[in-house]
Structure 1
Amino acid sequence: MPDSRDSLLADSRRLMTEGRWNEACARLEQGLAAAPSDILIAFTLATAYRLSGSTERAADLFDRLHNALPDMAEAAVGLAQCRSDLGAPDEARTALRRFAIRNPEASQVYSALGEISLKTGCNDDVVAAFSRSVALAPTAAHHGNLAEALSLRNMFESAERHYKAALKLAPDSPASRRNYAIHLLVQGKVEEGWRAFEARLDPRLPDAPARTLTLPRWDGSDIRERHLLVVSEQGLGDEIRLAALLPELAGKARQLTVECDPRLVSLFERSLPGIRIHAFSRIKRGGRGHYSYGWLPPEDGPDCYIELGSVAFRLARPLTLPNNDHGFLKPDPDISAPLRDRLRDQPGPARWVGLSWASGAQHFGRATNYPPLEAWRDLLSLPDVSFLCLQYDPTAEDIERLSEFSGQNILQLEGLDLRNDIESLAALSGCLDLVLSVGNATAALAGAVGTPTIELLSTPGWVPLIEGQDSFLAANHRCTQSVPGDWSAPMKRARELALLRLAQS
């Protein structure tokens, strides 16, 4: 019956929005079993499978839909997205092009082609595909996709026009507002950018945090007589970088309590005296972090809260260089001393350069943000230095290739857990003269303890920069692509900076 089907679809979409993927899929599976020829139920179930991470099941169902309805654009797009997620982006792009030849007016196919090309670094297709989708259907989503692609290429004026068009058509779209915020921040327009960045908290976004807090949210008013709770929300690297603002914030509040990743608690307690530090209580469901607060004290607890990523906005922080040249986090001296001794006992040059070339977040599309190993060749020919691996769980093949580029064995210190033992990673980073890294938590931590750090990224991300220098961590400099896909310029700049930093050490 239509009513029961409509109710099923509405309930399932609500469950998906709440990150309750298993319940949504179970409901839809029952519905499809009762009505196996219902295209809309099958499509919604395939979409739920894909978004919940059951990519193979999604691909199978999208494939069945596509075979039954070869001209159904939604099925072709879903199948292509699954193929890309499963590691076959070229196959996905070829299939979308063939579909577009048969159905040249299918705007969503060009949009999907642009998205897959963007995530996989096939840069020649991106702007053309998104431009075609806008020409066919000038929707908010299509304008937003084109705006993002243009902004990533530093074509800011053109991007601005399409962001404005997207926001005019859908002014309440959290995804458009969040992407627009990053577009502003990367240009250094921080006043407007931080305000727009609040969109990241919209619960309609699948990765927005969910909390059990009943406290009022701090609105930026005087807190000299108030106890403020700063809550965690982003990845480990962002948490470290944004924590650089905590000393300033602590000076404005009667008391500050900071929620953080459990791996950071002891490091923060040592480095941020007077601030109460507590590990978060969090579970992840469907990509969304769910935070609970049973640990808050019944007496003398916080009376308002703010997200760590909103501190810059509430402080009305201008674009300026930070005053933490020597870092703001203090490694444990009892861990640092023996590590320094171990490095001192190694043969070869006494100046040490740490290397980290990959990120722990390996979701689809992330790898294109970072240079391939071959791009490191010239950078690793730095004279009179020894290289140390800061990459956790590196492969033997990676170590062998990087050792070949540097002309020496890349040292790996045994007995260290560089992923979970943040205290040891902080102490080791503090023993080094320089760190060369992609934009990950290791780079943020190295800069936070005051070690000169050069980060290599395809784009600056959300971090406002001043001539490449990080506006949160004075020790960090980001080298990014000026031409999408071309790592030669950022690597050349990184080498120049590395030589300069080593000469100053």
Structure 2
Amino acid sequence: MRAEHGSEIDQARRLAAEGQTESAIERLDALSRSLPEDVSVLYALGAIARSAGLLDEAERAFRAVLDRQPNEVEAAIAVANVLVAKGNPGAATRILTRIHNLSPQLLPASLALGAALLADDNPTDALALFDHIIGQHPDLPQAHANRAEVLARLGRYRASLAAAEHAHQLAPADARIGLNKAFALFTERRIDEGLAAYEARLAPDLPTAAIREGLGLPRWDSGPLPAGRLLIAAEQGLGDEIRFAAAVWALAQNGVPIVLESEPRLVPLLQRSLPTATVVQYDRRRSGVRPIFRYRWLDGLDEPPAAWIEAGSLPLRLGLIRETSIAPAGYIKPDEERAAGFRRWVRSIGDAKPTIGIVWGSGDQSAARHRFYPPLEAWGPVLSVPGIRFVDLQYMDSSADRAALNDMFGVEIVPVEVLDKRNDLDGTAALDAALDAVVGVSSSVAALAGAVGTSTVEVLGERNWIPKMSGRDGWLGPIQQIEPEIPGDWADVITRAAAALKELIGGG
């Protein structure tokens, strides 16, 4: 490879780091056509696409390397890693097992095989492999970090935290390892330490870390609240944004002037619920999986903010989630007129039974999803609670699932055909307020119900990273989270959820 070609690859990498992933890929794609035998270009193209979450493009690039060099082990490992990310860990395991058997001393293949085994729901073999790797390479941070993930999957949370902390000691500058340590701290209920470690999510070298263009304000890193307005910046997904805004609500109770950047669908809800704040729809695009927020809208404010901070960092700065949930009774104020309309609708669909919203997740039971969504047949104990009418809160078309559940348990789950639950979140919040309770998987659906103040029973397949206070969501007190003693024991979780539901409606 000539020096100028290396320079072009470096320039493409810089473009990707700046959030111009499409331009970087176009540049490398053109370069690969002019240099069809130069696999370094294909490697760079695949790596940038993989980091951006463009998995089909990444797989094509790495397979193109194999077309040119069929025995290239690095490319085979790269293909396998992409297959894991695409939800096909079985195929990845087969590729990596062949490599591992031929070259058991090849560390990248061994590490990738362990990750593939875990993704393929084989944590026992994954743990044995990582233990073997650590026996040979005791100071390898990634092996300890991967071992921590396996131990958590096996329900050995204390040992998982010890492994995560050891990995972090070996590689304190590695943001991925630091973030995994934060999650391990949360699962062990060490909330203050977890919140501090959770700041690792902001490291710019993480592919999901936000780029904020035109935000020429100082970040509130420490010390007392800055004088003047405080910009609370959006981050992450819808469910997290609903939870994080509970801390904004707590801050607003103390009279702090706030500008809140928000997902567009939440703006009406948040403006009504935080009347002293200025709620602004974010200007966001994505470069692969990396969000890029733009702040030209700041020029339109009558008074600019004095400083800014990410919404997810507020609990750390304010010392929240200590003894009670941030919003013990929720904080979202639904549209009362629409809520009254849904109460009339609830009365119209039958007798005076308690009406419970339910969200069961997905009928897709791939290995990557069954950790978070119980199979349909597991919902029997909840759907068999007597004297209840169930209402479908699923975002997607769920008619096939409803029919299957009716066939299994003889229970009709009433659809809500008058509401676009995915896009009309103001209407969905009004519906939640009209229900007696909600039960379902951990999701933005459950988060919104809890934020409205509706008693919500959230079922988990394993401990998750959300801080908890006596079984309650650390942000949203109306959410009771039920997690299994043994990860994946949906029978235990659903049975306990049914008991919690009976207690909520007075039948326990």
Shorter-chain TM-score above 0.5: yes
**Structure 1 residues 461 and 342, CA, compared in 2 at 3 Å: closer, same or farther?**
same
Is the counterpart of residue 101 in structure 1 residue 101 in structure 2? Answer: yes
Q: Deviations over 1:91-111 (max 9, x none)?
A: 222222222112212222232
**Structure 1 residues 314 and 418, CA, compared in 2 at 3 Å: closer, same or farther?**
same
Q: Distance in 1 between matches of 2:258 and 2:45?
A: 45
Could you tell me how far 1:479 is from its partner in structure 2? 1.9
Alignment of 1:423-442 (within 5 A): 423-442=426-445
Q: Distance in 1 between matches of 2:325 and 2:410?
A: 36
**Structure 1 residues 412 and 348, CA, compared in 2 at 3 Å: closer, same or farther?**
same
**Alignment-derived partner of residue 410 in structure 2:** 407
Q: Distance in 2 between matches of 1:333 and 1:254?
A: 26
**Alignment-derived partner of residue 383 in structure 1:** 386
From 270, 290, 293, the counterpart of 1:291: 293
Q: Distance in 2 between matches of 1:300 and 1:94?
A: 60
Is the counterpart of residue 491 in structure 1 residue 494 in structure 2? Answer: yes
Is the counterpart of residue 271 in structure 1 residue 247 in structure 2? Answer: no
**Alignment-derived partner of residue 341 in structure 1:** 344
Which of 246-255 and 301-310 deviates more? 246-255
RMSD: 2.7
Q: Distance in 1 between matches of 2:188 and 2:365?
A: 27
**Alignment-derived partner of residue 222 in structure 1:** 224
**Alignment-derived partner of residue 7 in structure 1:** 7
Q: Distance in 1 between matches of 2:109 and 2:351?
A: 56
Q: Is the Cα–Cα contact under 8 Å of residues 241 and 448 in structure 1 kept in the other structure?
A: yes
**Alignment-derived partner of residue 280 in structure 1:** 282
Could you tell me how far 1:406 is from its partner in structure 2? 4.0
**Structure 1 residues 126 and 383, CA, compared in 2 at 3 Å: closer, same or farther?**
farther
Q: Distance in 2 between matches of 1:405 and 1:364?
A: 23
Q: Distance in 1 between matches of 2:123 and 2:165?
A: 24
Could you tell me how far 1:453 is from its partner in structure 2? 0.8
**Alignment-derived partner of residue 39 in structure 2:** 39
**Structure 1 residues 275 and 194, CA, compared in 2 at 3 Å: closer, same or farther?**
same
Q: Distance in 2 between matches of 1:379 and 1:504?
A: 13
Q: Deviations over 1:116-153 (max 9, x none)?
A: 34345343333234334434544222221212322344
Could you tell me how far 1:476 is from its partner in structure 2? 0.5
Identity, in percent, stands at 34
Partner SS state of residue 295, structure 1: helix
Partner SS state of residue 377, structure 1: helix
Q: Is the Cα–Cα contact under 8 Å of residues 382 and 406 in structure 1 kept in the other structure?
A: no
**Alignment-derived partner of residue 473 in structure 2:** 470
Could you tell me how far 1:230 is from its partner in structure 2? 0.9
Aligned length: 505
Q: Distance in 2 between matches of 1:17 and 1:126?
A: 32
Q: Distance in 2 between matches of 1:198 and 1:361?
A: 33
Q: What is the letter of the counterpart of residue 309 of structure 2?
A: I
Partner SS state of residue 118, structure 2: helix
Q: Distance in 2 between matches of 1:302 and 1:176?
A: 33
Q: Is the Cα–Cα contact under 8 Å of residues 216 and 305 in structure 1 kept in the other structure?
A: yes
Which of 346-355 and 50-59 deviates more? 50-59
Q: Distance in 1 between matches of 2:73 and 2:461?
A: 32
Could you tell me how far 1:62 is from its partner in structure 2? 2.7
From 417, 422, 425, the counterpart of 2:420: 417
Q: Distance in 2 between matches of 1:102 and 1:362?
A: 33
**Structure 1 residues 192 and 433, CA, compared in 2 at 3 Å: closer, same or farther?**
same
Q: What is the letter of the counterpart of residue 350 of structure 2?
A: P
Partner SS state of residue 478, structure 1: strand
**Alignment-derived partner of residue 23 in structure 1:** 23
Alignment of 1:156-167 (within 5 A): 156-167=157-168
Is the counterpart of residue 369 in structure 1 residue 372 in structure 2? Answer: yes
Q: Deviations over 1:226-245 (max 9, x none)?
A: 21111111211111112122
Q: Distance in 2 between matches of 1:64 and 1:292?
A: 36
**Structure 1 residues 19 and 145, CA, compared in 2 at 3 Å: closer, same or farther?**
farther
Q: Distance in 1 between matches of 2:470 and 2:362?
A: 24
Could you tell me how far 1:39 is from its partner in structure 2? 3.0
Could you tell me how far 1:294 is from its partner in structure 2? 1.9
Could you tell me how far 1:393 is from its partner in structure 2? 1.8
Q: Deviations over 1:223-273 (max 9, x none)?
A: 374211111112111111121222321244541121111111111122222
Q: How high is the TM-score relative to the length of structure 1?
A: 0.92
Q: Distance in 2 between matches of 1:273 and 1:406?
A: 45
**Alignment-derived partner of residue 172 in structure 1:** 173
Unaligned runs of 5+ in 2: none
Q: Is the Cα–Cα contact under 8 Å of residues 331 and 423 in structure 1 kept in the other structure?
A: yes
Could you tell me how far 1:360 is from its partner in structure 2? 13
Q: Distance in 2 between matches of 1:491 and 1:12?
A: 50
Q: What is the letter of the counterpart of residue 16 of structure 1?
A: A
Which of 212-221 and 307-316 deviates more? 212-221
**Alignment-derived partner of residue 330 in structure 1:** 333
Partner SS state of residue 378, structure 1: helix
**Structure 1 residues 42 and 342, CA, compared in 2 at 3 Å: closer, same or farther?**
same
Could you tell me how far 1:210 is from its partner in structure 2? 1.2
Is the counterpart of residue 257 in structure 1 residue 259 in structure 2? Answer: yes
Q: What is the letter of the counterpart of residue 344 of structure 1?
A: R
Partner SS state of residue 226, structure 1: coil
Alignment of 1:308-323 (within 5 A): 308-322=311-325
**Alignment-derived partner of residue 247 in structure 1:** 249
Q: Is the Cα–Cα contact under 8 Å of residues 349 and 386 in structure 1 kept in the other structure?
A: no
Q: Distance in 2 between matches of 1:386 and 1:62?
A: 52
Q: What is the letter of the counterpart of residue 62 of structure 2?
A: F
Q: Distance in 2 between matches of 1:96 and 1:49?
A: 21
Q: Distance in 1 between matches of 2:16 and 2:477?
A: 41
Q: What is the letter of the counterpart of residue 127 of structure 1?
A: L
Q: How high is the TM-score relative to the length of structure 2?
A: 0.91
**Structure 1 residues 369 and 71, CA, compared in 2 at 3 Å: closer, same or farther?**
farther
**Alignment-derived partner of residue 210 in structure 1:** 211
Could you tell me how far 1:345 is from its partner in structure 2? 1.2
**Structure 1 residues 29 and 110, CA, compared in 2 at 3 Å: closer, same or farther?**
same
Could you tell me how far 1:445 is from its partner in structure 2? 0.6
Q: Distance in 1 between matches of 2:277 and 2:365?
A: 33
Is the counterpart of residue 199 in structure 1 residue 222 in structure 2? Answer: no
Q: Is the Cα–Cα contact under 8 Å of residues 105 and 136 in structure 1 kept in the other structure?
A: no
Q: What is the letter of the counterpart of residue 160 of structure 2?
A: A
**Alignment-derived partner of residue 189 in structure 1:** 190
Partner SS state of residue 503, structure 1: coil
Q: Distance in 2 between matches of 1:41 and 1:136?
A: 33
Which of 244-253 and 361-370 deviates more? 361-370
